[in-house]
Amino acid sequence: MSRISTILSRHSTSVASILDQISFFMVYPWATALSKIIAYYFIPDLNSFGWWSNLKEKFLFGPLLCIFFLGLFPVGLAGFLLWIFICSVFPRKKYSYLELGTKGNKKSEEAKEVFTLACANVLLANEVFCRWNNNGNPMARSKLIGQRLLQQTPYFLQNFLLPQLCKKDTVIADLPDVDILCIQEVWERYWAAIMIDQLGLKYSYFIHDVGDHRLKANCCLFGSGLFVACKYPILAVEFQPFQFRTHYAKFFSYGVLCLKIQINKERIAYVANLHGQAYQGKEPVLYHQLSESLSAINAFRLKTRLPEENVIFDVVCGDFNFDNMVFLNCPGKVPR
pLDDT in tens, 63-107: 999 999 999 999 999 999 999 999 999 988 999 999 997 766 677
More confident position, 168 or 42: 42
pLDDT digits (tens, 9 = 90+) for 142-187: 888 999 999 988 887 776 666 666 666 667 777 889 999 999 999 9
| Alpha carbons 254 and 236: distance in angstroms, whole number | 20
Q: pLDDT (tens digit, 9 = 90+) per residue, 304-325? A: 999 999 999 999 999 998 764 4
Does the pLDDT value for residue 7 go beyond 90? no
Confidence at residue 134, expressed as pLDDT on a 0 to 100 scale: 84
- Residue 19, pLDDT above cutoff 80: yes
Q: Is the pLDDT of residue 299 over 60?
A: yes
In terms of pLDDT, which residue wins out, 52 or 131?
131
Closest CA relative to residue 324, chosen from 316, 313, 332 = 332
The pLDDT of residue 64: 96
CB atoms < 10 A from the CB of 242, how many? 26
Burial class (CB within 10 angstroms; exposed 0-12, middle 13-18, buried 19+) of 121: middle
118 vs 179: CA distance, rounded Å: 8
pLDDT for residue 170: 66
Indicate if the pLDDT at residue 21 is higher than 90. Answer: yes
Average pLDDT over residues 50-65: 85
Contact 179, 116 (CB under 8 A): yes
**SS3 label, residue 6:** strand
What pLDDT is attached to residue 332? 45
Delimiting residues of CATH 3.60.10 domain(s) in the chain: 93-319
Stretch 101-115: mean pLDDT: 77
* Structure confidence at residue 4 as a pLDDT band (50, 70, 90): low
What are the tens digits of pLDDT across the range 226-254? 999 999 999 999 999 999 999 999 999 99
Protein fold of 93-319:
Deoxyribonuclease I; Chain A (3.60.10)
Task: Work out the mean pLDDT of the chain and round it to a whole number.
Answer: 87
φ, ψ for residue 19, nearest 5 deg: -60, -35
